[in-house]
Amino acid sequence: MLQAMLGAVSQGILWGIMVLGVFITYKLLDIADLTVDGSFALGGCVCAVLVVNQGVDPWLALLAGTVAGIAAGAVTGLLHTLFDIPAILAGILTQISLWSINLRVMGKSNVPLLKSTTVFSSISDATGISQANVTMIVGAVFAVAVIALLYWFFGTEIGSALRATGNNEHMSRALGIDTRVTKVIALMLSNGLVGLAGALICQSQKYADIGMGTGGIIIGLAAIVIGEVLGRLTPGKLRSFSSRLIAAVVGSIVYFLIRAIVLQLGMDANDMKLLSAIIVAVALAVPVVWERYQLRRSYSKGGEA
């Protein structure tokens, strides 16, 4: 049971990087970008092929997976901004096309990395630390670095313009911000993080698969919502931007812990998609129910405050 929990924490941290990518589009731009399912697999596929077939250094393969994700995000962004295709439809179009592209990249449905050196195995061999612990440590380092970089970026002029676009697009245009550019940048940055997460998880699980990104957007949304719910339950509530980024990663860890516990209790693995949908629905419903309850309590029985 303990081993399963540690594995869940490791996976939660790595997936947390993907969740940060989803956070950018979903919370800052109010777009549920469905490119995620395809760009996650793209990052993993590119990484696996470079490591296995080309003998590329696994660190450089991570960079290549990130760049691949950025390219996927750029396609979605250009479809949305240049041709006025609704963002959700642009994401679907890119996601569908990436299925074929990923098959082309790999040449088959999956690529194993069992005999290849990965970031995690190389560090494990050099330090003597178990690969499970190395996965957790490396994931935590990457997550902290990404949070720090995002916090810095969104404090810059272009980052502030991006946030302003999400808050009020019409006002941003009136202030001279080219919202088309900021949207493309946001989608590229988001899917770049998703591609990085796909590459990391590919090396962690020692294989890349054509379906490894399926349901990624659901996991991302679930983690974000769980993180927000936990933030609301925290005394004083977490409202700063850095706290929201951290909460997204914590939500990812909690999500995978819930999955691990349910699987340990004997739930069929085929029902995980249903569980994911239930977790999202409950996490979205709880704050609404709680606010309504608090509102009713704030009034007296006679209807006066």
Read off the pLDDT of residues 174-186 as tens digits, 9 standing for 90 and up.
Answer: 989 999 999 999 9
Domain limits at 77? 2-214
Q: What is the mean pLDDT of residues 165-174?
A: 92
| 241 within domain boundaries | no
**Among 46-55, 90-99, 206-215, the least confident range:** 206-215
- Dist. CA 189–CA 219, nearest whole Å: 19
From the CB of residue 101, how many other CB atoms can be counted at a distance below 10 Å?
Answer: 17
Task: Provide the Cα torsion 208, 210, 212, 215; round to 10°.
Answer: 170
- Considering only CA atoms, which of 20, 6, 1 is closest in space to residue 252? 20
- Considering only CA atoms, which of 255, 192, 249 is closest in space to residue 218? 255
Is residue 274 helix, strand or coil? helix
| 263 within domain boundaries | no
Q: What is the mean pLDDT of residues 140-159?
A: 95
| 10 within domain boundaries | yes
Look at residue 23 and tell me whether its pLDDT is greater than 60: yes
Q: What is the mean pLDDT of residues 97-111?
A: 94
The first and second tokens of residue 304, run together, are 């006066």
Q: Is residue 61 within 8 Å of residue 199, measured between CB atoms? A: yes
| 292 within domain boundaries | no
**What local confidence, expressed as pLDDT, does residue 117 receive?**
92
Q: 125 Cβ partners below 8 Å, 6+ apart?
A: none
Token pair 């509530």 is at which residue?
237
| 110 within domain boundaries | yes
Token pair 């109010």 is at which residue?
30
| 134 within domain boundaries | yes
DSSP 242: H
What's the mean pLDDT when you consider all of the chain? 89
- Dist. CA 195–CA 197, nearest whole Å: 5
The first and second tokens of residue 234, run together, are 């925290």
The pLDDT tens digits for 234-270 are: 665 566 888 999 999 999 999 999 888 888 887 777 7
Q: 284 Cβ partners below 8 Å, 6+ apart?
A: 225
| 267 within domain boundaries | no
Look at residue 303 and tell me whether its pLDDT is greater than 60: no
Total count of domains within the chain:
1
| 125 within domain boundaries | yes
Q: Give percent helix, percent strand, percent coil of the chain, each to the nearest 5.
A: 75, 0, 20
